[in-house]
């Protein structure tokens, strides 16, 4: 190993959630150089004996303060431009996490100042390193995955209504969907959701049936987002 170029390897997390009908991204304010004081993706160095998914889960639980990641976590991509980190050659493995809106406040161990930021309020050049591009890739991946997977339910609590699921699609895609056609599509696609048997109470309007995530891993046929 002595004659191979030495790299540092990190994980960075694009953590998304839907709250108040807006798509939010988890950011931390950097407490150490470089880019001290700027907003960045949560992440950190991978341990020398640590597997990559383990490192991602560790960072996620540390930053969100949650014992168990209830949503979805998948590898997004690896970014390693030679000049992306002034400290040296750092390659980062980026991960995409989709979480339900957390009742727990965001306060991890080493994230003194972490915050949910609406993605509409992100401006180019705002984030440290190449995190702008990583976020853009994560958003595009999330939007695309809603089309052909049932992953929208990862943004929802264990039991949810069709309207909550529709709100996820509308928020992530930034479009409006017809409630009746959406209901037909969701309940008609086998394995998308399975009825929980119970219904909501106390809200406005007619009570809605509660559903859980179905066993399907893909949507056939896919839920296509409206064009333009």
Partner DNA sequence: CCCTTTTTCGTCGTCTCGACGATAACCTCT
Partner DNA sequence: AGAGGTTATCGTCGAGACGACGAAAAAGGG
Nearest of 154, 171, 135 to residue 13 by alpha carbon = 135
* Cβ 192 to DNA shortest distance, Å: 11
Stretch near DNA under the rule CB under 7 A, chosen from 10-18, 83-91, 118-126, 219-227: 219-227
The rounded distance, in Å, linking the Cα atoms of 71 and 16 is: 10
Among the listed residues 19, 30, 40, 45, the single contact to a copy of itself using CB under 8 A = 45
**Are the C-beta atoms of residues 38 and 128 closer than 8 Å to each other?**
yes
CB 22 within 8 A of CB 32: no
- Residue 121 CA: distances (Å) to CA of 22, 24, 63, 127: 11, 9, 21, 12
* 224 touching a copy of itself, by CB under 8 A: yes
Q: Are 42 and 59 in contact (CB under 8 A)?
A: yes
Per CB under 7 A, 207 contacts DNA: yes
Residue 102 near which of a copy of itself, DNA, none (CB within 5-8 Å, type-dependent): none
Nearest-angstrom CA–CA distance, 37 and 20? 27
51 touches, from a copy of itself, DNA, none (C-beta below 5 to 8 Å by class): a copy of itself
Six-digit token string for 219: 């949507």
- For residue 61, the partner it binds in a copy of itself, DNA, none, with Cβ less than 5 to 8 A by kind, is none
Q: Cβ closer to a copy of itself: 92 or 164?
A: 92
**Applying CB under 7 A, does 181 fall inside the site for DNA?**
yes
Cis peptide before 34, with omega less than 30 degrees from 0? Answer: yes
- Indicate which single residue of 6, 67, 103, 205 sits in contact with DNA (rule: CB under 7 A): 205
Q: Where do contacts with DNA occur on this chain (CB under 7 A)? A: 161-163, 178-181, 183-185, 187-188, 199, 201-209, 221, 223-224, 226
Q: Where do contacts with a copy of itself occur on this chain (CB under 8 A)? A: 1, 4-9, 45-52, 75, 77-82, 87-89, 91, 93, 148, 220-222, 224, 227
């Amino acid at each position: 190993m002595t004659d191979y170029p030495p790299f540092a390897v990190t994980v960075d997390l694009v953590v998304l959630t839907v709250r108040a009908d807006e798509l939010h991204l988890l950011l931390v304010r950097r407490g150490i150089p470089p880019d001290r004081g700027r907003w960045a993706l949560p992440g950190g160095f991978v341990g020398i004996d640590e597997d990559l998914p383990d490192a991602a889960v560790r960072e996620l639980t540390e930053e969100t303060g949650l014992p168990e990641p209830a949503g979805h976590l998948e590898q997004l991509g690896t970014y390693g431009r030679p000049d992306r980190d002034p400290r040296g050659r750092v390659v980062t493995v980026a991960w995409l996490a989709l979480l339900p809106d957390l009742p727990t406040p965001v306060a991890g161990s080493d994230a003194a100042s972490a915050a949910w930021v609406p993605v509409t309020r992100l401006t180019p050049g705002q984030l440290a390193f190449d995190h702008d591009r990583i976020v853009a890739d994560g958003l595009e991946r999330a939007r695309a995955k809603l089309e052909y997977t049932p992953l929208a339910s990862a943004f929802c609590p264990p039991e949810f209504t069709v309207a909550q699921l529709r709100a996820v699609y509308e928020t992530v895609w930034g479009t409006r969907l017809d409630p009746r056609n959406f209901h037909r599509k969701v309940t008609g696609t086998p394995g998308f959701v399975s009825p929980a048997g119970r219904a909501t109470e106390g809200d406005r309007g007619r009570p809605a049936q509660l559903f859980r995530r179905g066993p399907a891993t893909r949507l056939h046929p896919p839920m296509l987002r409206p064009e333009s």
